[in-house]
Amino acid sequence: MYKIIDGKKISQEIKDELKEKVSALKAEGKNICLAVIQVGGDPASSVYVGNKKKACAYIGIESLIYELPEETTQDELLELVRKLNNDNKVNGILVQLPLPKQIDENEVIQTIAPEKDVDGFNEKNVGALCVGSKGFVSCTPSGIIQLLKRSGVEISGKRCVVIGRSNIVGKPMSLLLLRENGTVTICHSRTENIKEITKQADILVVAVGKPKFVDETFIKEGAVVIDVGIHRDADNKLCGDVDFERTAPHTSAITPVPGGVGPMTVAMLMYNCVSSVE
Ligand code: GUN
C-alpha cells in the first residue's frame, strides 16, 4: 500500500513553526515585510498572489500587494522594483510570473536585490545554490526537499530523476537533490528512451507541464513520486503531470494534486521571508 505525502499538512506544520519565530522576532522589535507585484490580471496568478497574502497574514508578515495594469511598461516595473530595493522597510520582493509579453522577465528578476529575492531566481542566488554557499533557494524545489525529509524519505545515495529543466523547478531541484547526496539525472523534452531512465529512479520528480504525462510504465515498483504539475483535465478536475490513479498503486509514496507540492511553495516563500530577517 502506498503512502500519500500530505503537502497540506506538512506546509501547515512549517507555517506554524514560522508563526512562532515571527512572534519571537516581533518581540525583539523586528518586523517582516514582503512586497508582491502582479502585472495584469491572469486568474491563476491572482489565486497564487491571494494565497501568498493569506499566508503572510497567518504568520504575521506584513504584505504589500502591487497590482499593476497589463499594459505596464518595462521601465515602470523596473522603477517600482528599484524603489522597493531601496526601501528599508521591505525585506522581500516577489514579482509574480508570468509577466506580459512586453516585459523582459529576466531583466526584472536580475534587478531585484539578491538579498530581497525571496523567490531565489536572481543569478546571485542561483549561483550560490550551485556552489553550495548561503542564499535564497527557489521555493518549489526546497518545498519538495521538505516533503521528502518530513515524510522520512532517504535521499542520500538514492537514484533521483527529475523530468524538466526549467530555471524555477527542474534545475534547482537537481542541485538540491545533489546537495542531499542523491545521484541525480535530469530528463527533458529531447531525452531519448526516457522510460529507461525514469524506471531506475528511487525518487522521481515530475515537472514537465503536461497533464498526466507519467503513468505506471515510467516507474520502478516502490518508487517515491513527486508531482509538480497542476492542470485541469477534460472533466475540469485538477490533475498533475502524473496520472495518479494509474501510477499510485506502483509507488511507495506519492504526492496528490491538489494538496501535494502546491501548498509547499507558499510555505517555503514564508520560510525565505523569515530567514531574510533572521
Ligand atoms: N509563477 C509560478 N510559480 C511562481 C513562483 O514560484 N514565483 C513567482 N514569482 N511566480 C511564479
Same domain for 105 and 176, yes or no, is: no
Distance separating alpha carbons of residues 268 and 218, to the nearest angstrom: 29
Rounded mean pLDDT, 150-165: 98
Query: Whose CA is closest to atom 4 on ligand 1?
Result: 97
Same domain for 150 and 252, yes or no, is: yes
Q: Which of 39, 42, 48, 94 to mutate for ligand 1's pocket (most ligand atoms within 8 Å of CB)?
A: 48
Note if the pTM is more than 0.95.
Answer: yes
- Computed over every residue of the chain, the mean pLDDT equals 98
Structural domains of the chain, count: 2
Same domain for 161 and 207, yes or no, is: yes
Q: Which residues line ligand 1 (CB under 6 A)?
A: 94-97, 119, 139-140, 168, 265
Rounded mean pLDDT, 73-82: 98
pLDDT of residue 265: 98
Which atom of ligand 1 is nearest to 269's Cα? Answer: 6
Which atom of ligand 1 is nearest to 168's Cα? Answer: 6
Q: Give the rounded percent of residues in the chain with a pLDDT score beyond 90.
A: 100
In a domain, 167, yes or no: yes
pLDDT-based confidence at residue 242 (cuts at 50, 70, 90):
very high
Task: Decide if pLDDT at 278 tops 90.
Answer: no
Same domain for 44 and 88, yes or no, is: yes
Q: Which of 106, 168, 264, 269 to mutate for ligand 1's pocket (most ligand atoms within 8 Å of CB)?
A: 168
CATH at 79: 3.40.50.10860
pLDDT of residue 170: 98
Distance separating alpha carbons of residues 122 and 108, to the nearest angstrom: 9
Rounded mean pLDDT, 178-199: 98
How, if at all, do strands 62-68 and 238-239 pair? unpaired
| Among 35, 39, 121, 120, CA closest to 75 | 39
Task: Decide if pLDDT at 38 tops 90.
Answer: yes
Q: Which of 53, 77, 94, 96 to mutate for ligand 1's pocket (most ligand atoms within 8 Å of CB)?
A: 96
Q: Give the rounded percent of residues in the chain with a pLDDT score beyond 70.
A: 100
> Hey, what's the cell of 8?
497540506
CATH at 240: 3.40.50.720
Q: Annotated catalytic sites, by residue?
A: 52, 96, 119
- The CA 95 to ligand 1 mean position distance, Å, reads 8
pLDDT of residue 25: 98
Same domain for 182 and 101, yes or no, is: no
In a domain, 119, yes or no: no
- The CA 265 to ligand 1 mean position distance, Å, reads 9
In a domain, 275, yes or no: no
Task: Decide if pLDDT at 244 tops 90.
Answer: yes
| Among 35, 124, 123, 111, CA closest to 74 | 111
Question: Which helix (H) or strand (E) segment is 238 a member of?
Answer: strand 238-239
Rounded mean pLDDT, 166-183: 98
Condensed to tens digits (0 to 9), the pLDDT of residues 41-63 reads: 999 999 999 999 999 999 999 99
Rounded mean pLDDT, 223-240: 96
Which atom of ligand 1 is nearest to 265's Cα? Answer: 6
Question: What is the domain range of residue 108?
Answer: 29-113
Rounded mean pLDDT, 123-131: 98
- The CA 261 to ligand 1 mean position distance, Å, reads 13
